[in-house]
Structure 1
């Protein structure tokens, strides 16, 4: 009796995502950063905000694990609190720009009359360098956390809109969308149920990258002195404050710089892993 050949099952999302060691390490690193920033300050282990002029610019050691700043404040404690603001800005920008990009991209890709004007608007916004456009918007709105989030959301919305538009142009012509139209489904139902649900993968990947871009852009803006108000601790603000002491207290720039680099690199690697896991072609090649 002939044996029945086994059917090869493609690896699942979790298997592909965790198959890359770099993705696993990056995800674990980012989770540890988030947990440290949001849990350790609540334990008040480092006397966050406590000043000691006598100990100003103390190098890393037993008393101050990462050193003390120009006001004698513990760098580790400020690093963790500043990380909360930086991470929150990155997350909110990723969410807002994704939502706005979905609305604009769906409208441009689904309604032919809106395609040309919205596409030209997207192209015009993407013609400006991100940091230059962000600088201009923050200068107009003002340097608060909310305004920085708004400015960066405007800057990164075209990235999502472009991807959503391109995906919508393909999906709207597929047979199941035509069948939904023939059955009398409303335009909104088709856009949300039959189009948006099938293009969420590239949106999720792009949102991960925007999370990283927004954190880096916020740090750059704050370092240039036009970002978040100096009274609000962020990693970019710590780098900006520490640059004047770089000759005799380089650690004031070193540790926030490492935090920014680790967070951004981790998110980029996680985004690459998500792209490989969610893209059927890359999944098949893997």
Structure 2
């Protein structure tokens, strides 16, 4: 009897179906443009992100400076490109780090009955704190840096993934192919990796897109409050925080970074919604 289940219960043309959805296609295009601009920042940025020009401070959008300049005469378009690299890198790193913690906690709680209660209580305790307050506390304890922001946000969002994976694992562990693997003497780590983890890929992928969006928002919030990444590193949150002081005379300092955050988060949400609708069997029937 075969003991290995299909890795992912989705059709091979899932990407084409995702692109076929108008809202998901819009999200993919916006996200691709933002990611490409951030990745190619050193090649397309007209200035250095730290270049000062006091004579050009607080200039509005013009040909020389597409998005205007800030209070120190730095080109906002250039700084937005480099800030996008920071935000996307931090968001992706948070997804990876929180996924590792969430997978370990979720599989442990869902597969091992004796550990379900203590691990579940730990997850509930972590989720009892508001996300932003817990992130601020962790960053304050660890220190302001990109690495510590990733660690703090990873700890904050890991319980969400853990609960989803635990719920899926509770169902999968009772399926016939898992029981068959146990009867054949397959080692528990192999069962967890080959049979359980491979079949929680769909919810993990969907939750990952939403955590990506939330992490970008949270990083911007921490930087705005001055407890996130070092002010020397361009971030959208820091740019908004500085622009707040000149909101009346230089509104573009806040508008363009804010628009970048909105577009990035919106595109990730659109992609996440599309993945959820296609990968959830209950919703896929209605598509």
CA drift of 1:16 comes to 3.1
Q: Deviations over 1:119-177 (max 9, x none)?
A: 00101111111011111111111111111110000000000000000000000000000
2:40 alignment partner, SS class:
helix
The ranges of structure 1 where at least 4 consecutive aligned residues each deviate by more than 3 angstroms after the TM superposition are none
Q: Report the counterpart of residue 3 of structure 1 in structure 2.
A: none
Counterpart check, 1:164 vs 2:165: yes
**Rg bigger for which structure?**
1
Q: Distance in 2 between matches of 1:146 and 1:161?
A: 22
Q: Distance in 2 between matches of 1:199 and 1:105?
A: 10
1:285 alignment partner, SS class:
coil
With the length of structure 2 as denominator, give the TM-score of the two structures.
0.94
Counterpart check, 1:40 vs 2:33: no
Q: Distance in 2 between matches of 1:97 and 1:216?
A: 16
Q: Report the counterpart of residue 228 of structure 1 in structure 2.
A: 229
Task: Note the residue ranges of structure 2 that are not aligned, 5 or more in a row.
Answer: 1-10
Does structure 2 conserve the Cα–Cα contact (< 8 Å) formed by 1:41 and 1:48? no
Q: Report the counterpart of residue 61 of structure 2 in structure 1.
A: 60
Task: Note the residue ranges of structure 1 that are not aligned, 5 or more in a row.
Answer: 1-9
Q: Distance in 1 between matches of 2:179 and 2:54?
A: 71
Aligned length in residues: 277
Does structure 2 conserve the Cα–Cα contact (< 8 Å) formed by 1:16 and 1:276? no
CA RMSD for the aligned pairs?
1.3
Q: Distance in 1 between matches of 2:228 and 2:44?
A: 29
Q: Distance in 1 between matches of 2:105 and 2:237?
A: 31
Does structure 2 conserve the Cα–Cα contact (< 8 Å) formed by 1:30 and 1:263? yes
Q: Distance in 2 between matches of 1:122 and 1:148?
A: 20
CA drift of 1:44 comes to 4.2
Q: Report the counterpart of residue 6 of structure 1 in structure 2.
A: none
Q: Report the counterpart of residue 139 of structure 1 in structure 2.
A: 140
With the length of structure 1 as denominator, give the TM-score of the two structures.
0.94
